[in-house]
Structures are given as structure tokens and as C-alpha cells.
Amino acid sequence: MWEAAFERVVRAIIVRDRLHITLPSGRRFTTGDGPRELAVRIRDRRWLRAILASPDLGLAEGYMEGDIEIENDDLRLLLSIALGNTTAGNRHALNRVQLAVRRRLRAVEQWNPASRARQNVAHHYDLSRELYDIFLDEDRQYSCAYFRSPQDTLEQAQLQKKRHIARKLLIEPGMRVLDIGCGWGGMGLTLASEFGARVTGVTLSTEQHAMATQRAEDAGLSDRVEFLLADYRDLDRQFDRIVSVGMFEHVGVPHYDEYFGKVRDMLTEDGIALIHTIGRSDPPGSTSPFIAKYIFPGGYIPALSETAAAIERQRLVTADIEVWRLHYAETLRHWEERFSAGIERARALYDDRFCRMWRFYLIASEMSFRAGTQIVFQFQLSRRNDAVPITRDYLYS
């Protein structure tokens, strides 16, 4: 019964390209048609039920346990085929019901008061420092890089990202800058050392706070950069500039008005904010159950429509919106290649199951940008419509 139901659902989804699937009973079927093809073997019947109940979570957990075997371990091709088909609208009726249920539950899943936000941040960002050393660049930038050329190294692209954002902020020496979700401090340290800003960074991660503070001391910038273990909602002062890179994905739709209202209140009258976030090019949706359970609990990738509406309600001026499409796919490719090259170091820290989970996360994320609907938004915001030049020439001079 489970094998027949599984086959019906998979045949409805995989229309483009071909999958040769061997079921636990040993029976094999082929679905789809196209130039790319791949063989997959499912060794345990429980994963048929799991995939039917939640496709991305069931597939991920089956792969993590080693019970779903992929030809040449080509996870990238499998996820490219799967996402390419679902993005094209190929779904079974069961999938549509699952998506509708997830959308109805998202308000509960994304409720992130301060206490829950701290727990969610700790789940991911307080992992071993050595894990992030394996795949991030030297500055530990854990967000989309900016590739001016396919030949750019990850270090070059991450520095280009920081400088591009700094130009959008129109920073002058001595300006007070708030970095919401400052990570390990790289953005704040760059804005202080290269642009003369006085930076306050806030994070909810104890690991990130400790490392960022130490980095500021080591760089001799403690007089110009302070990092606080605090929630941005607890701050009660104004700044000339506000930057937030890769943090908005953790805010949650129920808190969008609160977030942009606080940004507005903390900006000076002629201030500028730059909000850099992963987004989606399709209408509002829900978070992948795999990502919510294992990677970013409480996280959500926003649509332009729901983000822009919240900005409007908080009376902020949208001075500019820039869309980066494939830059994050390239960033994730670099991360996965570095992680795979250093996977023995990761196994020494955790175990094989964790390594398979982390690799699934990195590749699934890359494919969501290449074959799915994920992109990156940069919102340049102000309180006045004359705070930013009327052309983009200042960015490229």
C-alpha cells in the first residue's frame, strides 16, 4: 500500500528529468523524462510514510540516517531535480494540502518573543566555533556574498558585500551605527576600521558576542566598536545608520511591524537603514519543516509583498530595493565545497549523521536559489525622502 501511494505522489511531482527509484521491496520504477537522470534507493519502508507526510523533512531524515542512497551521493542533482519540478508547479494534491496547513500554522511557529528568540539563536549560532571555521571565510561572514566575477574568492566576495552595504549607508567618520544581529562582528569592524564609524552591535548568541568582543580588542577598535549581548528591542537610543544583515529571517511575520517600528524609532531624522535579507520571489509561504526542526527554528523567508507592507505601515521611506538572485547560490556552493573538504574535522566535532544533515542543509539551500524561488533583498530605508541621493551613481563612482 505505502509503495503504491508513494509512487503515485512521486510520479505527479517528477515530470522534468528522470529518477530511477528502487523501493524497499526491491521493485524499481522510473518517473519523468529529460536529459538529467539519477538513481535513488530507499532501504526502509518508514521513509515512504515520512516522505508522504512531509516530503522535504522525510527525504532529509532518510538521507541523514543513511537509508536513502543516492547514485554517486549526488545530493545536489537530486535536490535540483526535485526543486525544479516543484517550482514549475508539479505537485500532488496531498502536497497542496500540506502547504495550506503549514501556512495556517506559521503565525504560531514564528512567534518570537525575546525569550524564544534567544533559544532559537542558541540552537544554531552557539554551535562549536570550529564548525564555522571549516566552511566560512576568514571574517566569518555567515550571509550572502557579492560576486562581481565568477573568479572571485569567497573572501573577496564577502568583502565586496560589506563595502557595497557601506556605500549604501553613506557613512561618514564619527557616525553612530547600529548593527542588528552583528554575528561575529565582521561588518561592525569593517565599518569602524575602513569608514570611521562608531558601531554598536547586538546579538543574542553568547558565542558570537564573546568572539566579536575579542576581535574588537585584538584589532584595537574597542574604543569605536561595542558588542552587546542584547535584544535590539531593548535599546533606547538613536543612530545615524542602522544595518542588519541576515537577521530579518529570524524576526517572524507576527513581529514585522514591531521590527520596522523599532528601526524607525532608532533612526535619526536624516538617518538611513539597510536591511539585507533572504526573500522569496513568489507569494508568502511557510518554512521548510526540515529547516524549522534542525537548522533555524522560528525562521521564515519573507515575500516582498509582506515585507513592503510592514515598512509602509511604519511610515518608513523605501529609498531603494536591490535584488540579488544567484549570489547566495554561489556563496553556498563555496560553503559546501569547504565543508565537504573538511568533513573529517566536522565528524570529530559531532558525528556522521550531523555531517549528512549539515551537507543536506547547505546543498538544499543552494538549490533553493538556483532551482527554487529564493533570492536576496536589500531594503534601503529612511525617515525622509531626501536622505538618499536621487540616483544610484554614488554607489559606483
Domain positions in the chain: 2-91, 110-396
Q: How far is residue 260 from each of residues 254, 318, 339, measured CA to CA in Å?
A: 12, 12, 35
- Are the CB atoms for 283 and 373 separated by under 8 Å? no
Q: How far is residue 386 from each of residues 55, 169, 272, 295, measured CA to CA in Å?
A: 48, 14, 11, 40
CB atoms within 10 A of CB 71: 14
Cell triple for 18: 528522470
Could you check whether 2-91 and 110-396 share the same CATH topology?
A: no
Q: What is the pLDDT along the chain (397 residues), one digit of tens a residue?
A: 789 899 999 999 999 999 999 999 999 999 999 999 999 999 999 999 999 989 999 999 999 999 999 999 999 999 999 999 988 876 655 565 556 556 665 666 666 666 665 666 565 666 788 999 999 999 999 999 999 999 999 999 999 999 999 999 999 999 999 999 999 999 999 999 999 999 999 999 999 999 999 999 999 999 999 999 999 999 999 999 999 999 999 998 889 999 999 999 999 999 999 999 999 999 998 889 999 999 988 889 999 999 999 999 999 999 999 999 999 999 999 999 999 999 999 999 999 999 999 999 999 999 999 999 999 999 999 999 999 999 999 998 7
Q: How far is residue 125 from each of residues 42, 208, 249, 327, 393, measured CA to CA in Å?
A: 33, 7, 14, 22, 37
Q: Which residues contact 7 (CB under 8 A, 6 or more apart)?
A: 21, 23, 29, 31
Spatial strand order of the sheet with 68-70 comes to 16-22, 28-42, 68-70
CATH assignment of 110-396, among 1.10.3210.10, 3.40.50.150, 3.90.1150.150, 3.40.50.1000: 3.40.50.150
Beta strands in the chain (DSSP E): 16-22, 28-42, 68-70, 176-180, 198-203, 225-229, 239-245, 267-280, 317-324, 374-382
Q: What is the pLDDT of residue 240?
A: 98
Q: Please state the length of the chain.
A: 397
| Architecture of the 2-91 domain | 2-Layer Sandwich (3.30)
End-to-end CA distance of the chain: 65
Q: What distance in Å separates the CA atoms of residue 84 and residue 367, rounded to the nearest whole number?
A: 9
Cell triple for 394: 554614488
Q: What is the pTM of this model?
A: 0.91
Q: Which residues contact 158 (CB under 8 A, 6 or more apart)?
A: 137, 139, 141, 145, 146, 186
Pairing relationship of beta strands 68-70 and 198-203 according to DSSP bridges: unpaired
Q: Is 237 exposed, middle or buried (0-12, 13-18, 19+ CB in 10 A)?
A: exposed
Q: What distance in Å separates the CA atoms of residue 30 and residue 28, rounded to the nearest whole number?
A: 7
Q: Angle 2-13/75-87 helices, nearest 10 degrees?
A: 70
Q: Is 136 exposed, middle or buried (0-12, 13-18, 19+ CB in 10 A)?
A: buried
**String of DSSP letters for 16-68:** EEEEEEE-TTS-EEEEEEEEEEEEEEE--THHHHHHHH-HHHHHHHHHHTT-E
At 159 the three-state DSSP class reads: helix
DSSP conformational letter for 138: T
- Are the CB atoms for 271 and 241 separated by under 8 Å? yes
